């Protein structure tokens, strides 16, 4: 992972990411997936939030009584988490420190019941770094532990560009999306910072190669990103109906294949 990613997030307001109803679908689905598998682990689990951002998941689960270690490459994010811990009215078991998802040498083998990798993977442009991210996550998991990885589905990119960034709807970009999946910050065809996009099928192969047993796989936002304008103006009852529909269908392969963010769950057995 390059300095470009850290620099991007240093100036990005991560706390605002889920404010819009359409973006909150990803957050709610991620909580749904984590809760599903956390319920099968010890009541007070040890969780590594690898690439924790500003702590939205780390603090949520610490407030439920879990012991959370939150790491991120962006100094601002660690400062934000530490400030939120101080401001909290609860006593939270959260350790926040700068760290890199591909190098977890500070943590012993089998240290955690759950590892959340909800941000780093789709910024790892090197196959070696991606393999290291998964192998290190598996190493620090206890037997029976759960790894949840977020990735960006390459088949969602063209619909997104067609709706929001038509200036990037050109053959060179689409070729990169479908064939390479790698974009570097500042390049002519790059529409974000350093980025890796992949397919649900390839993601499953990657987890299997890391010796994980795949136990769940879902689309975090389905087609919500593509129709976000319609989602954002829904009234409360309509929005709740959409969320209910989404939870019931987010594991369908056809919907998973269109979702911008995928969530794949592996168990160490």
Give the C-alpha separation, 159 to 227, whole Å: 10
Verdict on whether the full-model pTM lies above 0.75: yes
Q: What are residue 95's phi and psi, to 5 degrees? A: -110, 120
Per-residue confidence (pLDDT) for residue 15, from 0 to 100: 72
Q: Which two tokens stand for residue 72?
A: 């991120």
For the domain 3-267, what is the CATH code?
3.40.50.150
Q: Average pLDDT in the 159-165 region?
A: 92
Those residues whose C-beta lies under 8 Å from the C-beta of residue 88, and which sit 6 or more positions away, are 59, 63
Boundaries of every domain in the chain: 3-267
pLDDT tens digits, 235-254 = 999 999 999 999 999 999 99
Closest C-alpha to 8, from 122, 163, 94:
122
Closest C-alpha to 103, from 137, 75, 126, 151:
137
Q: What does the mean pLDDT of the chain come to?
A: 95
Q: Average pLDDT in the 117-123 region?
A: 96
Closest C-alpha to 250, from 228, 225, 220, 224:
220
Q: How far apart are the first and last CA of the chain?
A: 29
């Amino acid at each position: 992972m390059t300095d470009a990613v850290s620099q991007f997030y240093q100036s990005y307001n991560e706390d605002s990411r889920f404010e819009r109803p359409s973006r909150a679908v990803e957050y709610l689905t991620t909580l749904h997936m984590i809760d599903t598998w956390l319920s099968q682990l010890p009541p007070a689990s040890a969780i590594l939030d690898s690439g924790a951002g500003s702590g939205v998941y780390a603090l949520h689960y610490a407030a439920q009584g879990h012991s959370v270690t939150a790491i991120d490459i962006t100094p601002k994010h660690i400062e934000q988490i530490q400030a939120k811990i101080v401001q909290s009215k609860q006593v939270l078991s959260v350790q926040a420190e700068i760290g890199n998802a591909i190098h977890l040498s500070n943590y012993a083998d089998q240290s955690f019941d759950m590892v959340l990798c909800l941000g780093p993977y789709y910024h790892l442009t090197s196959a070696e770094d991606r393999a290291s991210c998964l192998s290190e996550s598996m190493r620090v998991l206890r037997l029976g532990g759960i790894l949840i990885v977020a990735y960006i589905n390459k088949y969602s990119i063209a619909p997104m560009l067609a709706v929001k960034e038509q200036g990037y709807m050109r053959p060179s970009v689409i070729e990169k999306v479908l064939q390479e999946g790698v974009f570097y910050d500042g390049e002519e065809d790059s529409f974000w910072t350093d980025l890796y996009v992949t397919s649900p099928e390839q993601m499953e192969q990657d987890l299997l190669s890391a010796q994980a047993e795949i136990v769940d796989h879902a689309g975090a936002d389905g087609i919500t990103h593509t129709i976000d304008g319609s989602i954002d103006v829904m009234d409360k009852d309509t929005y709740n109906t959409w969320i209910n529909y989404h939870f019931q269908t987010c594991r369908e392969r056809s919907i998973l294949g269109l979702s911008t963010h995928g969530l794949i769950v592996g168990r160490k057995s």
